[in-house]
Every structure is written in structure tokens, then in C-alpha cells.
Structure 1
Amino acid sequence: MKQKMRVLIIGLLAIFLIAGCSSGNKAKDSGTFEGSGSGKHGDIKVEVAIKEGKIDKINVLEQDENKVLAEPVYTELQETIIAENSADVDVISGSSATSEGYINAVKDAVKKSGITLVAVSKEKKEKQTVKTDQTFDVVIVGSGGAGFSAAIEAAEAGKKVAIVEKMPAVGGNTLLSGGEMNAPGNWVQKNLGIKGDSVETYYEDTMKGGDNVGDPKMVRIMAENALDSAEWLRDEIKVEFLDDQLFQFGGHSYKRALIPVGHTGAEPVSKLKAKADELKIPIFLNMKANELIQDDKGKVTGIKAQDKDDTQITFHATDAVILTTGGFGSNIDMRKKYNSEYDERYLSTDSEGTTGDGIVMAQEVGAALTNMESIQTYPIANPKTGMISLLADTRFDGAILVNQEGNRFVEELERRDVISKAILAQTGKYCYQIWNDDIDAISKTKEAHGAEYDELIKEELLVKADTIEEAAAFFDIDVDTLKETIKKVNEYAKSGDDKDFHHRAGLVSLENGPYYIEKATPSVHHTMGGLVINEKTEVLDEKGNPIPGLYAAGELTGVIQGTNRLGGNAITDIITFGRIAGKTAGGL
């Protein structure tokens, strides 16, 4: 009996030990862990749940990335990492910095866990079932502001519409922009007591700003429809604009640029997409259009496209194809082809997808091009990345530009091309922008662009200093000259007369610190040339005749901005002519 009892006790102990070991093993290869990585706009913090050596779930705890560009990262990339049980994956095109931050955050969490992830077989995921042959009334290529505006107007006219977008996320350059929109006589001007602005003044500013190269008829259409386009965004699309602030971009006679909440294109793009979703307009992402299809009479009847698996998809368009693919600022070879100045030396503020696809496709079916040599740089961009500095929008409210020697060298509200050329003529081909809290209180850019502020501080491209001496020392600017420059600015601000450069809005005193000094250089920003279109947005051939079935709107057109686009005119252009294209197609 004692022997049986002894055997039973030993057996129970063995079971408990085995159970204990099993439980211990599970504990060692399971758990929830936090990690962080550096994204485009600051740290991305994630929480990674691991079960039995496999990544089960990834939650984003903190991030300040562009919400539209980050969406495919936090969905597609998460799915890929979980499926492969590894963070050694490729980045999402167009969102590489955010992707790298997210991937590194996951790797950090896994490293902290001490768990060795189990190997999994990399089975090919089933391809999404997208029909290889589809038919719509209207097919729109490109999902920026022009594409969405065209799609919404065509859909509301009763047409069956599709949007085809080659990038993994919608928005294009509209998303990356500040989102500001010129509209003479707008409601915010009335709120602020700004009088005297008119359609005619705006028309004249735009024509003069482009050296009178823009088609007067097309520029007038934009000027006359600008306010209606802005009110459409506000009332129909529900875009929120600040009601107590406007920008006066270089070359404009008045403060007339409406500013969206958040000071970026994320507000209009997210609202336009929400409206497209409400209208049930399908958006085909990761779908690159390569070729326009024509019938035997020359009418454009659709497009051929490729998805990310290189499967060819044909989109038939019963009524119209509308091209809204943007310019070619990110295509170095194309830039050099039309203007050799803008070669590899220049970075670009543009989306990776801004490679001139629509221009090339249209040209292949006989479309006429114009003004292709006119390429614009944005004067105040990040010297390391080429990205536009939205933080530096303080320039529109009184910030000054100085060179390495500490001297001003151009009027800060001149045209972009004039300022850019002036910067490139300075020591090192860069400049410094200087402002203080008094100016920032007007612009509110530090509040709106906190992530960029932190990024520039980290990269030592921006310094906050209590004194001019401290700020000058950080960038090795001649302190005596800089102090003399600031002294003159303060005098001109008090008198209202900028004797050096005749600042059109009047300078603002820099007497009080703290001071912000940002290093910047020009970066390719906008291509003014492109397709020739008429007032209906029909694409014209070399003889000036419309190519049946083909329409275009936005930066890929070349008849509106002339040699130089004034700030705030891009959104006005793309919304106005995008809507016209959609209405034209909607009436076919």
C-alpha cells in the first residue's frame, strides 16, 4: 500500500513539474511589449503582443505621422509583419519614413521581449480579387485634390466613377501641401476687415506672377471661380478653415489664402475621401496607369494599368478618362529633359508618385504640351530631405531671411522663383529664416507643426535662443552684422518703411526674444508645364483640337500658372478645374 502511495505521489509530482515547465515555457515565449522607432514626424510607439513565439497583434500607442500616408503602414505593413512573423519587411512606397519608424518600433519591442520568433513558412498570400476587365462611365487617374473633385462632381451627376491611384495611399501632393487656398473676397477677409480685394486683382496678381505666360482665359476662369470652389469645400465637403487667420503668399496684393485646420493638406484630402466614400466611389490603390486606350475613331475609351503584383487591369471608360496625375517634380530625368538646371543637385518637396505619368500617356495619344521648361523651387525647404518647411510659414507674417554673413538679401514676400534664385546666389546656396514669439503668435505654426519643429531641432537645422548672440553662435553667423540687421528691421517695423527691400506687408519687430533661426535651401516644388487644355478641361492635340474622351486638371496641365506659380494657387487651381472636369464628364 505504501509502495502504491509512493508511486502515486511521485506521479503527481511529475505531472505538476511538467505542467509547471509547460506553463513556464509559454510565459517565456508570450507577452505584450512596447517599442519605439523614429518616424517622419517624431517617435512611433507600439505595443506588440506575442503568443508562443508568434506576433499576434500590433497596436500603435503614440504617433504624429500624416494620418492619410500612415494608414497603409498601420494596416498593410501590420498584416505583412504578422503573416511573416518578422519585422524584416519592405517599406510602403510613398511612406518610407513612417514605415521605417513603425518597423523599427516593432523590432525594438521584439528585442526587449527577449523572445526568439519562430520561423514561419512564407506562403504566398492570395491575391485580392480585382477583376482584370472593368467598365465605368468615368475613370479618373490620380487621387489628389483634382481627382477627388472631378470624381465627386461626376458621381453627383449620376455617373459611375472609379479612381485609379498608383500609390498605396490617396492624396498626392495635395496631402503634402500646406493646403492653403487663395480666394478673393472670402469670408475670413470679411472677418478680419480686409477690404479692396477682388477677382480682378487676383487675376492680375496671378498673371503677373507667371510673367503673363498663363492663358488669360484660363486664369480668369480660375479667378472667377476661386471663391465658389472654396465655399464648395467648406459647405459640401465640410473642410474646416480657420476663421481668424489668412496667409499672404509672395506675389499677392492681399492676405487671401484660406488656411485649413491643422495647416496641412490632410484636412481637405481626408474630407474629400470621406465624401467619395459616401458616394461609394471605388478607389483602386497600388494601381499604376500605363497606357490610354483609343477606339478606331481616336476617342479615349479607357486605360491599361498594373497592380502591385504586375497583373494588367483594363478600365473601360464609356464617357471619359480624366487625368489628374500631377506634375513631374520627382522625376529627375524628365526635369533634366525639359530644363537641365534642375538635375540631381535639387531635392524635391513632392510625393514620390509625382513622375509625369499622365503627361507621358497623353503625349503618346497626340496631346500638345506647353511651358515644360518652367520648373519652380520652394525657397524654404529642409536641406537634408528636401521637404517643404511648413513651420517656416512665419515668413508670411514677418519672419526675415538672412545669409551666412547676417545680411538680408531679398524681400521675404517676393515670388518663390525670385527668392530661390536669391538664396542660391548666397554663400553655401542656403539661407536662415529668423522669427520670434511675437511673429509665431500670428502665424501659429509652432503649434500646428510641432512634429516638424522637434525634427528640425533634432537635426540641428533649427535653434531656439534667448538672444541674437546665442542664435548667431549656433550657426556661426557674423553676430555684429546680424545684430545690425535686426536693429534696422526693428526701425523699419516701427516706421512702416522697409528702406532696403520694401516689404509689401510691413516688417514686424524682432526686438524681443526668444528667437528661432532655421537653416533652409530651395527644393523642386512645382512644374508649371504640361498638357494644353481648354475651358472644358478637354485635352488638346498639336492642332488645337480636343482629343475625344480625354480631360485633365491640376498640375499636369500647363496653361494656367505661367512661368511661376504663386503660393496658394495650386489648391485653387486643382479644385476649380477638377470640378469643371467632373461636371463636363457628368454632362456627357
Structure 2
Amino acid sequence: MKRFFKNLTLIMTFMLILGAFAGCGKSAQGKDGKYTGQADGKHGSIKVEVEVAQGKIKDIKILESSENVVLSEPVYNKIKSTMVNKNNVNVDAITGSTETSNGYINAVKDALKKAGLKLEGDKLTVEPLKEKDTTQEYDVVVVGAGGAGFSAALEAKNAGANVVILEKMPTIGGNTLISGGEMNAPQTWVQKNVGIENDSPEKFYEDTLKGGDNKGNPAIVKVLTDNAKGAAEWLKDYVKVKFLDNQLFQFGGHSVKRALIPEGHTGAEMMTKFKMKSDELGITVKTETEVKELIYENNKVVGVKAKNLAGQDLTFKAKKGVIIAAGGFGSNVEMRKKYNPELDEKYMSTDTPGTTGDGIVMAEKIGAAITNMENIQTYPISNPKTGVISLVADSRFDGAILVNQEGKRFVEELERRDVISKAILNQTGKYCYVFWNKSIDDISKTISVHKDEYEMLVKEGLLYKAETIEDAAKFFKIPVDEFKKTVERVNGFAKDGKDLDFKHRGKLVSLEQGPYYIQKAVPSVHHTMGGLVIDTETRVLDAKGQPIKGLYAAGEVTGVVHGTNRLGGNAIADIVVFGRRAGVNAAQEK
């Protein structure tokens, strides 16, 4: 009997050892099948399905994503390719899309954890593409793949030119893509739909000049305001951008509602349609290709020198002209400090990482004139943790109020961005709160159209939905009695139709009924008004005021449009009006 138990014990021990080894093998190989994983990206949750077979990643599919479609698609594709080909999830984030990249990578890791599979070798970088020909020739070379660059490229192509767009970032879009995408234009079909009949190019001109303290070039501003309506119709009818037919925003500094709102309330609608139209026309777009310098020979710009992510030195010859549409320098802290020391590291930026002033610097090196560089705008309502512009808080344009930590209003909500930003920085803690109710949200619809941002802000404790005013005050430790007095006063102004405190130029809305929304916000660097000097035909001028042959510019890279301050909604009008003009003129260069 003892021998029996001894043998039984040996057998059981042997089986346990075998089981342990079998378990180790299963852990290393994982179980074949499809597993879901989830993690937070920049704008919300990213959910993936990872197919595992024989210890390897066979496929990765996106099930849900709140990320910007135009920005995220190449990120997902490049990282997926590296993970599958190398069977390794230890992959570097893609520059310019760090949060989206990390969200995707972590979602894949979450799925593999459920599969019992760990695939983390040496850290890998996503392999860049190489060019077959290091010297290429086009009629027109466009530097920058944002709204200005695509507007220019489309018009140059339609004028008969062979066009290439060069973009240093991994994805197209620039600041246009991450903006709200609203565009100011007078006498549009939407103004007609909503019954606004008191607008005109002249009134738009007056608002724009005044909004920049009359420092914008009057002739340039006139081109902008006279051609904004035509540019909006071109976007709608030719590029096929969808705008809301019965809603407009009235940004600060404007005398009437005139800002068209794209479907989805972001620039993604515009950039998606720009890319579709450029593909239709056969326009070449090269990302991860950084232009380093302009080629200036015999008193003419004849091309550019560039370097791609693969490390290749490239030359792009331009038989007709080069268009700089590379944006401003809001993300270049050193450049900001050079021209305006106040806007140093303590300020975050709403801009994309690629907004570093390259176009200004390279043009200045060949003698281009620059102007207005000290005027740098902050956007007043941005995320206190990331600096990203808050689109949920666009409720401000439909009646939301701004209050400080003491629960008091301190500025007109439809004032200019620079005025509101300075007012916020003078408050306790250098932040403010945006406060509105469901009645306002029913008008603006910002929560439903920016649901992912809303949920992220709630998760971060920066936005709170309250049933009562007392509840809203308690969440952010605002003095309840003072806050209630402020709201009661606003309710009275809404009823009487007159704001006795700050002369609100729009329409205050009663805040008597909840539920309520309250959001914390800070100013963040948003737009640089300075840049290259251009004439009304978008030709870049030298220090003597003479055009530099073969060189054109459009958008935030220029410095003569907005004066000391850009009014909200004018950037999209600027990039499209002058981008189109640059494209036509460059294509006709002799």
C-alpha cells in the first residue's frame, strides 16, 4: 500500500510538472483567436480587435475610434504594419500623433494580455518610405498640406499645372484639421436661411480691420472680405464640404452671425474633402518630407531642397513657382520668445507640433520681408491639462457665460480673443469657468457633436454636469451665494434683452432651468499674426517691397492680414481666399 501511495505521489507530481510546463507554453504562445483591447487616445477610447495565430499577430482591426479620421488612419496603418511584420508591440509613437499612437499601441497590448501573449522585443520605430528619385520636377511646389496648401494645389492643378504638396508631418491637415473649421463670409446661403439680411462685405471689412486694431493691410483685408463668399461657395459646390444649413456662430469681435459651421463642427470635414478632391485630380502629396530651404537662382525661386524621414536629401524643382503654406510658429517656443518674450514655456499651444515657422525662416533667408511678428494670439478657452482648444465650450457663442473662481462674470463673452485671454489671466489662478445649461446646448449642440471631447473632459474632472447651480458651484469650490447672484443677474439681463454689466453683443440666455454644465479653461497660444509680407496677388515681397519672382505665400505664414488680433472664423476664410489666389498665380508664372 505504501508503494502504491508513493507511486501515486510520483505520478501526481510528474503530472503537475507537466501541467506547469504546458501552462508556460500556453502563456508564451497564447491562444489562437480574436481578442478585443481598449485604451484612451487623444479624443477618447480606441477599441481594437487583434487576431492571434501560433503566437503571432495575424491582423489588427479598428472596432471603435474617436480620433480624427484624417490624422489617425495613417498612424494606425503604419504602426499596424510594423507590429504585424515584426511581431512586436514595443513600437515608438509617430511624431505629431503621440497620444493617438500610444492609445492604439496600448489597446493592442490590452488585447494581447487577454490572449496570454506577450510580444515586446527591442523598441522599434515605424519604417519610413524611401523615394525612388531624389530629384523630381513639377510646375508648382506647395509647402504645407493644410487648408491653404490644398486650396492652392487644387487651383494650380485646375489652371493646368503639375503639382506636388510637401508636408513634414506624418499626416496632412495642419491646424485646419484640428480647428473648429468655422468660416466667416457675408451674404451666404445660410445667412439667408436664418434671416440675417444686414451683413455685407463692407461690414465684414470693418469688423476685421477693427478687430486687428487697424493694423492689417487694408488692401489685403479687402481682398479677404470681398472674396470670402465666393470661397465659401467654392468649398460647398466644388470641394463638396458640407456646412450646416441653419446654424451660424458669431465669434468675438463680429457685429453679426456670419461663421459657417462644417458638418461635425471641426476642420476634419474640410480636410477630408480636400484630400478626396486632390486624389480625384491626381495631385501628388508627400508626407514626412521636410522642406529645408528654397532654391534661389538668377533672382527667382526655382524649387526647394528637402529631407524625408528615411534620411534622403531631395530636390523638388518648380518650373513655375513655389507656394509657402506652412503655417505659423505657435508651437515653436524659442521663436515665440524671440518676438514676444511673455509667451514662453508657461503657455501651452492649441497648434499641431508642426507649426514651427519653417516657411517664414526659409523665405527670410533669401531676402523676404517679415512683419507683425510680436503679435501672437492666445485662445481663451482651452484644456488646462493639454492646451488643446475646447470645441465643447463653443456654447459661449450661444449664451454661455464666463465666471471666475469667485463666481463672478469678469468680461463680455463675445469680446475679442486677446481681450478675454488677458482678462482670464488677471483672475485668481489664471483660469475661468464656462457655464451654460441645456437650453443653450439645445442651440449650440456642442456636447452632441463633440461627445468624445465632452466625455474626456468629464473623465479628467474639467467638466461637470450638475442638476443645480449649488451642485455646479460645489464641484469647483466656487462660493455658492456669489455664483447664484451672478446667475440671477444674467437671468434678468436675458429677460430685459440688455446686459448692463458687459454689453453682451449677442443674446444672453436665461439660466433658470437646469441641468447645467460647468467647465474649467485657460488661455493657450493659438495663432501667430506675424509672418511674410505679401501683396494682393500673394507674391512674397522683399525688404524693398518688390516681389520675389517665383515665390508665393498664403495662410498663417503671412503677416499682413489680421493686424494685432485675428477674429475667430477668419483663419479659414484667409487660407481659402489667399490659397486659391496663390495657386492660380503660381500656375501662370512665366
Partner of 1:441: 442
Partner of 1:308: 309
Q: Given the alignment, which residue of 241, 255, 278 partners 1:239?
A: 241
Query: For 1:532-563, what per-residue CA distance to the aligned partner results, in whole angstroms no more than 9, with x for missing partners?
Result: 00011000000001111110000010000000
What letter is aligned with 1:110? L
1:106: Cα distance to partner? 0.5
Partner of 2:365: 364
Query: For 1:449-483, what per-residue CA distance to the aligned partner results, in whole angstroms no more than 9, with x for missing partners?
Result: 00000000000000000000000000000110000
Instruction: Verify the 8 A CA contact 1:199 1:223 in the aligned structure 2.
Output: yes
SS at match of 2:265: coil
In structure 1, distance between residues paired with 2:395 and 2:85: 46
Partner of 2:200: 198
In structure 1, distance between residues paired with 2:574 and 2:345: 28
Partner of 2:41: 39
Structure 1 window deviating more from structure 2 (85-94 vs 472-481): it is 85-94
In structure 2, distance between residues paired with 1:461 and 1:126: 38
Partner of 1:97: 99
Q: Given the alignment, which residue of 150, 153, 160 partners 1:148?
A: 150
Instruction: Verify the 8 A CA contact 1:405 1:477 in the aligned structure 2.
Output: yes
In structure 1, distance between residues paired with 2:504 and 2:169: 41
In structure 1, distance between residues paired with 2:56 and 2:210: 62
1:117: Cα distance to partner? 3.8
The change in CA–CA distance for 1:123 and 1:348 in structure 2 (over 3 A counts) is closer
What letter is aligned with 1:418? V
The change in CA–CA distance for 1:544 and 1:247 in structure 2 (over 3 A counts) is same
What letter is aligned with 2:392? L
Partner of 1:172: 174
In structure 2, distance between residues paired with 1:124 and 1:227: 43
In structure 1, distance between residues paired with 2:147 and 2:413: 28
Partner of 1:391: 392
What letter is aligned with 1:575? V
In structure 2, distance between residues paired with 1:123 and 1:221: 46
Q: Given the alignment, which residue of 152, 159, 162 partners 1:160?
A: 162
1:116: Cα distance to partner? 3.9
User: How high is the sequence identity, in percent, across the aligned residues?
Assistant: 61
The change in CA–CA distance for 1:235 and 1:338 in structure 2 (over 3 A counts) is same
Partner of 1:273: 275
1:294: Cα distance to partner? 1.1
What letter is aligned with 2:164? A
TM-score (norm 2): 0.94
Unaligned segments of structure 1, at least 5 residues: 1-19
Q: Given the alignment, which residue of 54, 59, 81 partners 1:52?
A: 54
1:298-377 equivalence runs, <5 A: 298-377=299-378
The change in CA–CA distance for 1:571 and 1:383 in structure 2 (over 3 A counts) is same
- List structure 1 runs of 4+ shifted beyond 4 angstroms: 23-29, 118-127
In structure 2, distance between residues paired with 1:27 and 1:91: 26
1:495: Cα distance to partner? 0.2
What letter is aligned with 2:58? D
In structure 2, distance between residues paired with 1:118 and 1:197: 61
In structure 2, distance between residues paired with 1:104 and 1:251: 43
SS at match of 2:434: strand
Query: For 1:314-365, what per-residue CA distance to the aligned partner results, in whole angstroms no more than 9, with x for missing partners?
Result: 1000100000000000000000000001000100000000000000000000
TM-score (norm 1): 0.94
The alignment's C-alpha RMSD in Å is 1.8
Instruction: Verify the 8 A CA contact 2:402 2:413 in the aligned structure 1.
Output: yes
Partner of 1:16: none
In structure 2, distance between residues paired with 1:227 and 1:356: 29
1:40: Cα distance to partner? 1.1
The change in CA–CA distance for 1:525 and 1:121 in structure 2 (over 3 A counts) is closer
Query: For 1:228-264, what per-residue CA distance to the aligned partner results, in whole angstroms no more than 9, with x for missing partners?
Result: 0000000000000000100000000000000000000
Q: Given the alignment, which residue of 63, 68, 77 partners 1:75?
A: 77
Partner of 2:460: 459
In structure 2, distance between residues paired with 1:42 and 1:260: 21
In structure 2, distance between residues paired with 1:433 and 1:71: 33
Query: For 1:264-287, what per-residue CA distance to the aligned partner results, in whole angstroms no more than 9, with x for missing partners?
Result: 000011101111110100101000
Q: Given the alignment, which residue of 181, 199, 210 partners 2:212?
A: 210
Query: For 1:147-166, what per-residue CA distance to the aligned partner results, in whole angstroms no more than 9, with x for missing partners?
Result: 00000000011100000000
In structure 2, distance between residues paired with 1:474 and 1:221: 49
Query: For 1:117-158, what per-residue CA distance to the aligned partner results, in whole angstroms no more than 9, with x for missing partners?
Result: 496998996953441000000000001110000000000111
SS at match of 2:253: coil
In structure 1, distance between residues paired with 2:255 and 2:27: 72
What letter is aligned with 1:395? R
SS at match of 2:561: coil
How many aligned positions are there? 567
In structure 2, distance between residues paired with 1:25 and 1:391: 45
Instruction: Verify the 8 A CA contact 1:48 1:59 in the aligned structure 2.
Output: yes
What letter is aligned with 2:536? E
In structure 1, distance between residues paired with 2:436 and 2:480: 16
The change in CA–CA distance for 1:125 and 1:448 in structure 2 (over 3 A counts) is closer
Unaligned segments of structure 2, at least 5 residues: 1-21
In structure 2, distance between residues paired with 1:126 and 1:467: 54
In structure 1, distance between residues paired with 2:78 and 2:119: 20
Structure 1 window deviating more from structure 2 (129-138 vs 507-516): it is 129-138
Partner of 2:264: 262
